[in-house]
């Protein structure tokens, strides 16, 4: 069954196709950003001269990824025909940026574009700080057209609609990553298996055999963060939040399946609790062969490959769907989008910001970003430019396996209390691993999450 958001998006496009927006109709064919004719004669950019407009972008990338960002921004600044200049500023972690934006809402010291998770964007819009990008998406001149919306992965496109703000589009996806199962291909083959596990029962059988046969010490190091909990719930056909009824659903059987499996395996000595989350001890254990499995973001593929290359013994690894499914796996996609600031900004600054994000999602830029960072592109057609990425030694096979799972995805909720609820979910999972009854502890978590949500709704 289609989600409520899917139905809404389809309804919007049908209505636009029939009636148009403000008397005009969004184009069907996508026009490359640098080929747009501006100032526009109609639509949202009518008469706006962007020459000399500067856009500041706060992002979270550092190291090698920051260099990729700088190269893309330099290219945009050199080649765009509109006279726009983008200044990219690495502003720290997601939490650092969230704190800076919330403070800036009070002082009006804000960039034009900021990286933001959906729940963070919702908080910003509680203060009317963001631009609803839907009119830009649907604009007859600078919009993206129906061929783009069909090309963009549906789950990515939907994830930027805010259920808390009348489905305003509070961000625009320029890349995403996904929760993955990493597995040691050589070890599974040696144990007689021809495929990674689809169920937690198979996962347990393989992990326990790996440890009991003396092939490794860990089997798997358990991550207790909220995204792993959500990913396992999605895989089992469930969710942690019911958008239709605006309630959390941590007390469902689909959510309980993975924590129960982990508790059982821990009791049998087949897995261990992650020893050092800050240092990614689970990833290190997988890289050295101590663990058979690792779960984490697909953006970690290059780091896993490097860890294996640096280990005393190398092995082939691959990625697969999170276990718990029967037929078609549903994968948890995550990652921040980029929101455009409305507060204190001119129409020229807003339009220039949109054009930069629009350009960043085009296949050439997306392929370059994917090749150099390990993140997924947001458009299906980018696959045609990813042959070298898929063939890259060490990382290519795992990236292609992950990319092929993008057809069935779901994003975690963007309700503003989710940041707090995430911490509570981790605490509950840790309690379960310490021996708490799974059903009872998840029921407690669910009650608390819904209490927090109810209090937030009452304060609106």
pLDDT tens-digit profile of 23-70?
334 557 889 999 999 999 999 999 999 999 999 999 999 998 999 999
Do 134 and 182 lie in one domain? The reply is no
- What residue has token string 């990236």? 399
**Per-residue pLDDT, 18:** 32
Task: Calculate mean pLDDT across residues 374-389.
Answer: 87
Nearest to 300 by CA among 334, 349, 339: 334
Token pair of 287 as six digits: 């890289």
Q: What is the pLDDT of residues 189-214, one digit of tens each?
A: 999 999 999 999 999 999 999 999 99
Bigger pLDDT: 363 or 199? 199
Q: Would you tell me how many other CB atoms lie within 10 Å of the CB of residue 203?
A: 27
Q: Are 162 and 4 in contact (CB under 8 A)?
A: no
Q: Helix (H, G, I), strand (E, B), or coil: what is residue 272?
A: strand
Do 107 and 126 lie in one domain? The reply is yes
**Per-residue pLDDT, 23:** 32
What CA–CA distances, in Å, run from 28 to 17, 21, 249, 267? 9, 14, 39, 57
Task: Calculate mean pLDDT across residues 148-163.
Answer: 81
Do 70 and 201 lie in one domain? The reply is no
Do 172 and 225 lie in one domain? The reply is no
Residue 65 resides in a domain: yes
Do 28 and 111 lie in one domain? The reply is yes
**Per-residue pLDDT, 27:** 58
**Per-residue pLDDT, 374:** 82
% of the chain with per-residue pLDDT over 90 = 74
Do 340 and 318 lie in one domain? The reply is no
Q: What is the pLDDT of residues 302-344, one digit of tens each?
A: 999 999 999 999 999 999 999 999 988 999 988 889 999 999 9
* Cα 238 from Cα 257, distance rounded (Å): 10
Beta bridge partners of 179: 297
Bigger pLDDT: 102 or 13? 102
Q: Phi/psi of residue 442, each to 5°?
A: -70, -30
Do 232 and 194 lie in one domain? The reply is yes
Task: Calculate mean pLDDT across residues 167-192.
Answer: 95
Do 85 and 127 lie in one domain? The reply is yes
Dihedral of alpha carbons 98, 99, 100, 104, sign: positive
Mean of per-residue pLDDT scores for the chain: 90
**Per-residue pLDDT, 5:** 35
Q: Could you say which of 385, 401, 423 is where a domain stops?
A: 385
pLDDT tier at 414 (50, 70, 90 boundaries)?
Answer: confident
Q: Into how many domains does the chain fold?
A: 2
**Per-residue pLDDT, 11:** 35
Residue 406 resides in a domain: no
Expressed as residue numbers, the domain containing 60 is 16-176+335-385
**Per-residue pLDDT, 29:** 83
Do 184 and 155 lie in one domain? The reply is no
Residue 1 resides in a domain: no
Residue 404 resides in a domain: no
Nearest to 184 by CA among 198, 200, 196: 196
DSSP H or E run through 328 = none
- CA angle 258–218–252, rounded 5-degree value: 5
Do 75 and 106 lie in one domain? The reply is yes
**Per-residue pLDDT, 6:** 35
Cβ burial, residue 279 (10 Å; 0-12/13-18/19+): exposed
CATH number of the domain residue 75 falls in: 3.40.190.10
Q: What is the pLDDT of residues 93-134, one digit of tens each?
A: 999 999 999 999 999 999 999 999 988 999 999 999 999 999
Q: What is the pLDDT of residues 211-243, one digit of tens each?
A: 999 999 999 999 999 999 999 999 999 999 999
**Per-residue pLDDT, 119:** 87
Residue 8 resides in a domain: no
* Cα 377 from Cα 382, distance rounded (Å): 7
Q: Phi/psi of residue 110, each to 5°?
A: -135, 150
**Per-residue pLDDT, 335:** 81
Residue 10 resides in a domain: no
Q: Are 390 and 97 in contact (CB under 8 A)?
A: no
pLDDT tier at 152 (50, 70, 90 boundaries)?
Answer: confident
Do 202 and 54 lie in one domain? The reply is no
Task: Calculate mean pLDDT across residues 352-372.
Answer: 93
Q: What is the pLDDT of residues 132-143, one digit of tens each?
A: 999 999 999 999
Residue 460 has pLDDT above 80, yes or no: no
Residue 103 resides in a domain: yes
Bigger pLDDT: 82 or 154? 82
Bigger pLDDT: 334 or 345? 345
Do 422 and 288 lie in one domain? The reply is yes
Residue 111 resides in a domain: yes
pLDDT tier at 279 (50, 70, 90 boundaries)?
Answer: confident
Task: Report the residue count for the chain.
Answer: 460
């Amino acid at each position: 069954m289609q989600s409520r958001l899917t139905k809404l998006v389809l309804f919007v496009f049908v209505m636009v196709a029939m009636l148009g927006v403000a008397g005009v109709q969004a184009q069907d064919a996508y026009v490359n950003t640098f080929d747009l004719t501006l100032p526009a004669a109609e639509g949202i950019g009518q008469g706006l001269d962007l020459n000399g407009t500067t856009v500041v972008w706060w992002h979270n990338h550092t190291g090698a990824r920051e260099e990729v960002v700088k190269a893309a921004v330099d290219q945009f600044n050199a080649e765009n025909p509109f006279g726009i200049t983008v200044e990219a500023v690495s502003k720290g972690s997601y939490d650092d940026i969230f704190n800076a934006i919330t403070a800036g809402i009070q002082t009006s010291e804000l960039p034009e574009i900021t990286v933001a998770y959906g729940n963070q964007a919702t908080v910003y819009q509680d203060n009317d700080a963001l631009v609803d990008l839907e009119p830009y998406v649907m604009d007859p001149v600078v919009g993206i057209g129906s061929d783009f919306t069909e090309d963009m992965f549906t789950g990515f496109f939907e994830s930027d609609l805010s259920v808390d703000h009348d489905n305003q589009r509070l961000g625009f996806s320029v890349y995403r990553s996904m929760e993955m199962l990493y597995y040691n291909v050589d070890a599974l083959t040696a144990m007689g298996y021809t495929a990674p596990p689809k169920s937690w029962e198979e996962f347990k059988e393989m992990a326990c055999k790996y440890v009991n046969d003396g092939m490794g010490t860990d089997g798997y190091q358990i991550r207790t963060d909220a995204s792993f909990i959500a990913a396992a719930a999605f895989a089992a056909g469930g969710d942690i939040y019911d958008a239709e009824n605006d309630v959390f659903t941590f007390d469902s059987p689909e959510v309980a399946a993975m924590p129960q499996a982990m508790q059982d395996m821990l009791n049998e000595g087949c897995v261990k609790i992650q020893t050092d989350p800050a240092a990614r001890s689970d990833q290190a254990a997988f890289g050295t062969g101590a663990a058979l499995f690792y779960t984490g973001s697909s953006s970690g593929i290059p780091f896993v490959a490097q860890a294996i290359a640096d280990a005393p013994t190398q092995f082939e690894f691959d990625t697969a769907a999170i276990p718990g499914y029967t037929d078609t796996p549903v994968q948890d996609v995550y990652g921040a989008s980029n929101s455009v600031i409305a507060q204190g900004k001119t129409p020229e600054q807003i339009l220039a910001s949109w054009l930069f994000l629009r350009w960043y999602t085009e296949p050439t830029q997306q392929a370059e970003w994917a090749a150099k960072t390990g993140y997924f592109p947001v458009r299906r057609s980018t696959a045609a430019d990813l042959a070298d990425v898929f063939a890259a030694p060490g990382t290519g096979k795992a990236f292609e396996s992950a990319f092929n799972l993008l057809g069935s995805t779901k994003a975690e909720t963007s309700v503003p209390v989710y940041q707090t609820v995430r911490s509570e979910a981790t605490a509950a999972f840790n309690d379960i691993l310490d021996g708490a009854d799974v059903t009872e502890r998840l029921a407690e978590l669910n009650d608390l999450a819904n209490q927090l949500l109810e209090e937030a709704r009452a304060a609106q």
